[in-house]
Amino acid sequence: MARELLPGLYGYRDLEVGDWFETGEAIVDAAKIDAFAEVSGDFYEIHMDAAFARNLGYRDRVAHGLLILSMTDGLKNQADAKLRGIVSLGWDWSFDGPVIIGDTIRVRVEVAAMRLTSKGDRGIVNLGFTVTNQDGEKVQSGTNTLLTAL
C-alpha cells in the first residue's frame, strides 16, 4: 500500500514499493544556468542567448537538461524524507519539456522496485521521479537505481 514518507531516515528495510515523497522547490535562475555552463562547458545558444531562445519560441533562455537532473537529485537529497543511499548505480531519464529562467521546479519521488543485492547485505531501490514546474507541468521524468543500506 502506497504511503507518503514522513520526515526521517529510511533504509531498504523501511521502504515498500509505492512509497513516495515530495521535495521542496528550487528556482532556476540565470546564475545557475551560467554556473552550469561554466562547469560543463555547454554554452549552446539556447542556454546562453535569450534572443536566440525567443527566436525558437521560448520566452527566455532554456536551462540545460542535465542541470535540472542535477537539481532534481539535490532536491531529493535535501528532502525531509531521507534515503540511506550509498551510491547511485544509474539513471534512465527523459527531458519532457523546457525549463525556462524563472521557473520553479519540485519533484515527486516514488519507490518503483526493490531487491536485495546478491550478498543480501544491501538493497537496490529503483526510484521513479516526476519533475514539475510551477504550473504543474511535467518537465522531466525517469528512474534512478540506488544502492542503499539496509
Cell of residue 120, nine digits: 543480501
pLDDT score recorded for residue 126? 98
pLDDT band at 15 (very low <50, low <70, confident <90, very high): very high
Q: Which pLDDT tens digit goes with each residue over 107-140?
A: 999 999 999 999 999 999 999 999 999 999 999 9
Residue 13 lies in a domain: yes
Whether the Cβ atoms of residue 23 and residue 78 lie closer than 8 Å to each other: yes
Residue 1 lies in a domain: no
**Residue 81 amino acid letter:** A
**pTM of the predicted structure, to 2 decimals:** 0.95
* β-pair partners for 128: 110, 143
Residue 3 lies in a domain: no
> Per-residue pLDDT for 1 more than 90?
no
Residue 50 and residue 46: Cα distance in Å, rounded?
7
pLDDT score recorded for residue 45? 98
pLDDT score recorded for residue 147? 98
> Per-residue pLDDT for 143 more than 90?
yes
**CATH code for the domain of 43:** 3.10.129.10
* β-pair partners for 111: 127
Q: Count of domains in the chain?
A: 1
Q: Which pLDDT tens digit goes with each residue over 39-57?
A: 999 999 999 999 999 999 9
Alpha helical stretches, state H, 1-142 = 30-40, 45-48, 50-55, 65-78
Q: Could you list the residue range(s) of the whole structural domain that residue 124 is in?
A: 8-148
Residue 2 lies in a domain: no
